[in-house]
Structure 1
Amino acid sequence: MSHLQIAKTLKHVRAFLPGALSLNLHQAETNIVKTRLDQLFDHAVLGGKNTRSRLLVDSYSKLKPSASVQEMDNVSQVAVTIEMLQAFLLIVDDIMDDSKLRRGKECWYRVPGIGMNAINDGLLLDCSIDLVIRDAIPTHPNLHQIIAAIYEAKRKTTIGQLLDGQTAGGGNISWARYKQLVEHKTSHYTFYCPLQMAMLMGDVVGGLREIKTIAYDLGYLFQAKDDYLDCFVDEGLTGKTSTDIAEGKCSWIGCSTLDKLKGEPKLKKVFEECYGKNDSKSVDICRTLIGDLKIDNQFHEFEKMMVKKLSNDIDNFSVNELKPILHDCLEQIVKPKGVDLAKEKRKIAANM
């Protein structure tokens, strides 16, 4: 249900923004803005999974089950600003990475006639966020905190992107760096921000400190699981190209491997020299070491420990209405859709 709500609201915001951004323009210039925004929304904003915005809407509906249709529309309008932020971040990320495709289409900057103007288009989305929120909830008692929450998420994600870009290769990764990367690139933006905004929208602020701890742990497990899938699960099932080893990512797998190689200086040196080299021989050497060290088994033990801790923390969370949402988040991390993990475990065992 929330997916349909978000899709409908994105179309509403797509229609609202040209007028809001063109108040001081003549008709010809207004038409230019509208044409560009329509193209931008259709290509780069619509069509995503809307995971974060759906988490916000679903959380609010649990907090306020008797909310009116108008209240839910207002919450959805606030929620889609996260999708606008996501589109902005992806546009810039694709340029930085020289990416070709996004969601099965040409990256926005590669569309004929767009080029580096894509940077300004991303800024157009970013500077529209507060307009959309103020239009939806102009008199909400937590208006300024809600706007501050999404901009805090942007700041933290930008710092995470900076750290990620400066961290590559076996000699540059560590658990300390990994934890900071996950907090800034994943945990805060993907889990805490939607939950925080839902609670602020519902004026339920008593459990914000608790939810932050739970959200950050969910994000940590989510990222670790993503790192595991990148290394051990077939690309055809995940829908993503396995690149962490070749790119020398500061990942859960990389950190765990270096940890286990502390007592093996020669092998550690080999791993550090090969990790981050984009050639099949180096990647194969790293994969062999990772397999020999049984890093997959270590991950499964870590996952069990985290699931137990998170389950306990969620059960003891003071805001009872959000417990089902949080347990569902945990379930989706442990058992990602479209991936038969039992089958993959058997395949890994056969190849080791």
Structure 2
Amino acid sequence: MRDFRSKFLDVFQVLKSELFDDPAFELIDFSRQWVDNTFTLELKNYIEDHQNPGGTLNRRFSVLDCYKFLKEGKELTDDELFLASALQCCINWLQAFFLELDDILDKPHTRQDQDCWFKDPKVCMFAANNGVILRQRIPRVLRKHFRDKKYYVDLLHLFDQVEFQTAGGQMNNLLITLEDEKDLSKYSSDLYGRIVHYKTANYSFYLPVACALLMSGEKLEDHLDTKSILMDMGKYLQVQIEYHDCFGDPQSGKTGTDIEDFKCSWLVVKALELCNDEQKKVLYENYGKQDPVCVATVKQLYNELNLQGVFAEYECQNYESLIISIEACPSAAVQVLLKSLLAEVYKRQN
């Protein structure tokens, strides 16, 4: 995909300046500095994700890249470049909003090998307000720059629906890990699929493509098959992340805590499906414990069940299924776009 980073950075600075000059709220010196730091951190995350192959993958699926595919090689105008970059900013802010709240609720120590921002003693729960500030930029940017577009109402509905569904997915994810609610018997492929569908795939895969489709003059209701494919890709990426967090190279510094945190992960769901009674007893006794010995016991059980082989089979079958679905899409441009996104994900190692 073509690198549109420089254009995005220019637009990012324009939108940040608009916030500082927004007549709805006059920032005083120290609040201006605080907001500036927030946006500087978000911009730093964006740049690192594009430079680092192990960064947040969906940030590299920009609206600009998707829109370029849909334009089938036609040169983008300055207005198109600006609008697509502005929508990407909105997606990044929505993601940052969710991640900041997610970190506060889940209480992890790190995200992408960096200390979570709320762990900074100068930040703490102010991170929640920062997330709200980022989230509130979205409708203001859409109103200022897209109000005269035919797809303006569709954009508002799209962001509203994705936010609502993601929040619902996060609610389900949190409720099943509450101390009083921990019960492995609740975990199933259906529950896992529902959580990932709403919590991750919507904003990570579907949203940038949907924005690009609307900019191209398409109606989202005409691309329900495309949405289904993107949601399946989002699930595949989440499964892949969980797999590498468990079985990846320890030297990479990326170690997940799904076992300790009693997460409804793809791995534990598969383990429950494959366990005999004795193995299931071991899993019940050790899953969700902070004790490193318990974590090691669960990982040993995963190895006994050959979950690495199960994942390899899932990966190949999922890829073949996605290719078949993509090639059934009536739009050649959409096919090229979806195959490019899938190529970014397939057999990703970090």
Give the TM-score normalised by the residue count of structure 2: 0.87
1:146-225 matches, cutoff 5 A: 146-168=155-177, 170-205=184-219, 207-225=222-240
Q: Distance in 1 between matches of 2:291 and 2:303?
A: 18
Matched, 1:274 2:281: no
Is 131-140 or 302-311 further displaced after alignment? 131-140
Residues 6 and 54 in structure 1, CA contact (< 8 A), matched pair in contact too = no
Shift of 1:244: 1.6
One-letter identity of the residue aligned with 1:223 = Q
When residues 232 and 84 of structure 1 are mapped into structure 2, their CA distance, relative to the original with a 3 A threshold, is same
Q: Distance in 1 between matches of 2:306 and 2:135?
A: 44
Output one character per residue of 1:88-144: Cα deviation in whole Å (capped at 9) or x when no partner: 112212222334444565543344543323222221111121111222222110101
One-letter identity of the residue aligned with 1:187 = A
Cα root mean square deviation, aligned:
2.2
Q: Distance in 1 between matches of 2:308 and 2:118?
A: 38
Output one character per residue of 1:206-248: Cα deviation in whole Å (capped at 9) or x when no partner: 64211111111111211111122122111333x5222122222
Residues 14 and 37 in structure 1, CA contact (< 8 A), matched pair in contact too = no
When residues 44 and 224 of structure 1 are mapped into structure 2, their CA distance, relative to the original with a 3 A threshold, is same
Aligned to 1:42: 40
One-letter identity of the residue aligned with 2:10 = K
When residues 125 and 213 of structure 1 are mapped into structure 2, their CA distance, relative to the original with a 3 A threshold, is same
Residues 286 and 295 in structure 2, CA contact (< 8 A), matched pair in contact too = yes
Q: Distance in 2 between matches of 1:336 and 1:11?
A: 32
Residues 182 and 223 in structure 1, CA contact (< 8 A), matched pair in contact too = yes
Shift of 1:305: 1.0
Matched, 1:324 2:326: no
Give the TM-score normalised by the residue count of structure 1: 0.86
Residues 258 and 268 in structure 1, CA contact (< 8 A), matched pair in contact too = yes
Is 162-171 or 128-137 further displaced after alignment? 162-171
Output one character per residue of 1:280-329: Cα deviation in whole Å (capped at 9) or x when no partner: 22112211221111121111111111111101111121221122221122
Aligned to 2:65: 58
Aligned to 1:303: 315
When residues 224 and 114 of structure 1 are mapped into structure 2, their CA distance, relative to the original with a 3 A threshold, is closer
When residues 130 and 53 of structure 1 are mapped into structure 2, their CA distance, relative to the original with a 3 A threshold, is farther
One-letter identity of the residue aligned with 2:270 = S
Percent identical: 26
Residues 52 and 194 in structure 1, CA contact (< 8 A), matched pair in contact too = no
Aligned to 1:306, the other structure's residue is in SS state helix
Residues 283 and 298 in structure 2, CA contact (< 8 A), matched pair in contact too = yes
Aligned to 1:14: 16
Residues 246 and 255 in structure 2, CA contact (< 8 A), matched pair in contact too = no
Residues 52 and 191 in structure 1, CA contact (< 8 A), matched pair in contact too = no
Q: List runs of 5+ in structure 2 lacking aligned partners.
A: 51-57
Aligned to 1:241: 255
1:23-42 matches, cutoff 5 A: 23=24, 25=26, 29-42=27-40
Shift of 1:42: 1.0
Count of residues in Structure 1 that have an aligned counterpart in Structure 2: 331
Output one character per residue of 1:25-72: Cα deviation in whole Å (capped at 9) or x when no partner: 4xxx45454323211111245423273474321111122233312221
Aligned to 2:62, the other structure's residue is in SS state helix
Aligned to 2:96: 87
Q: Distance in 1 between matches of 2:334 and 2:76?
A: 16
Is 202-211 or 130-139 further displaced after alignment? 202-211
Is 73-82 or 54-63 further displaced after alignment? 54-63
Q: List runs of 5+ in structure 1 lacking aligned partners.
A: 340-352
Q: Distance in 2 between matches of 1:284 and 1:119?
A: 34
When residues 105 and 299 of structure 1 are mapped into structure 2, their CA distance, relative to the original with a 3 A threshold, is closer
Aligned to 1:254, the other structure's residue is in SS state helix
Q: Distance in 2 between matches of 1:287 and 1:243?
A: 12
Q: Distance in 2 between matches of 1:320 and 1:293?
A: 41
One-letter identity of the residue aligned with 2:45 = G
Residues 91 and 203 in structure 2, CA contact (< 8 A), matched pair in contact too = no
